[in-house]
Amino acid sequence: MIKYADLIAAQQTMRDTIKSTTLMPSKTFSKLADTQIFMKLENLQTTGSFKVRGAFNKIFHLTEAEKKYPVVAASAGNHAQGVAFSATKLGLKSTIFMPTFTPPTKVSATRSYGADVILTGDSFDDAFAASQEYCKTHNATYIHPFNDPKIIAGQGVVGLEIFIQCPDVDTVIVPIGGGGLISGIAIAMKEMKPSIKIIGVEAEHAASALASHEKGEIVTLPSVSTIADGIAVKRPGDLTFKIIEKYVDDLVTVSDTEIAYAAYLMLQRGKLLVDPAGAAALSAAITRKSNCMGKTVVPVISGGNINMSLLQQIIDQGMYLEGLRTTLQVILPDHAGELQKILAILDKLKANIQDIVHERSITSVPVGHVMVLLTVNLQHKKQLDTIKGELGKRGLTCRVIH
């Protein structure tokens, strides 16, 4: 079992290289969660994720014999960048195996930290298998993303920092993938203040820790499905499962919709860019998933490396959910000038048109008419009722599609 002293040693190891990240209070999220929220911003960490902490601690402690050969990882995201940065910083070569579907931004970021990147296979399992074969043929050291004492100790430094920054903390909420982060934090927090509650959060369709807890033994899920790829893990680690069972007070899940909305709110209200896994803990807080939440709560915002196309979807969906965007369906006579009537109303009300689609060919549109789909950005929620009222005055009926 990893000891508290291992975390203190890891803190000293990374003191001059890895940031002590900000603990930021938020009035907005405190109101939504009905408790005092302080966010631990690991999205502002070097490489954009907490993963660099464990990677640096592990690679630093390799033997002199191991340091003569490359270090290897299989990862499509944060762990890859953490290993690449740490290896380069410590003067070692790194080779990272990534599935071929990995977003180009993550591939280029990993290469920019000095790693050789090998794209292979259609899944993470394919990349992992290739990495293991490479280790055998090149005498390289595989750096596990979570199931390793040095990795866990490195991640646990997050817990040491939280306690220094907020001694009154009574609840810490942590996202769970393989369990390295929550294991390290739990060891740190329970040692310093046993009364602190540790809540673990998983995506509802990738809840391997919860399934394992309910069965009383490690469970491997047949598949996982979530936008939060940073916590999309089929099976917790042997080490991490034992620590979770010993120290974690509650395990909860959040849906992809809840995760996406939390990420949107962090960008829109908090001015913070986070990835879906990084939004999971805050999502659990503002949706009040656990009865263990106390008065002073720290959600760990684990990372900020998000795929830009996914970010656009999150922004779009968030605007709909907040009532700042709507899509209206209007059936008009197919005559010149009819669309201009609608545009004049929107112009008068200062509603900005995002998109317009005309559809004549489907059977639900009467002959001689056109269906118009208008996506409109609104100034506030009540503006939609005003638009519908103005259309009604002109004999036009509309249906809210979204």
Active site residue ranges: 51, 302
Query: 305 near 78, Cβ under 8 Å?
Result: yes
| Residues sharing a CB contact under 8 Å with residue 126, sequence separation 6 or more, in sequence order | 99, 120
| Residues sharing a CB contact under 8 Å with residue 315, sequence separation 6 or more, in sequence order | 264, 267
Number of C-beta neighbours around residue 252 at 10 A: 22
What is d(CA 355, CA 378) in angstroms, rounded to the nearest whole number? 13
Q: Which pair of tokens denotes residue 207?
A: 């809840």
Q: Which pair of tokens denotes residue 12?
A: 């000293």
The residue to which tokens 């690449």 are assigned? 84
| Burial environment of residue 127 by CB neighbours within 10 A (0 to 12, 13 to 18, 19 or more) | buried
What is d(CA 11, CA 20) in angstroms, rounded to the nearest whole number? 10
**E-strand spans in 219-276?**
250-254
What is d(CA 402, CA 92) in angstroms, rounded to the nearest whole number? 52
| DSSP designation for 366 | P
Phi, psi of 331 (to 5 degrees): -100, 120
Amino acid letter at 224?
Answer: V
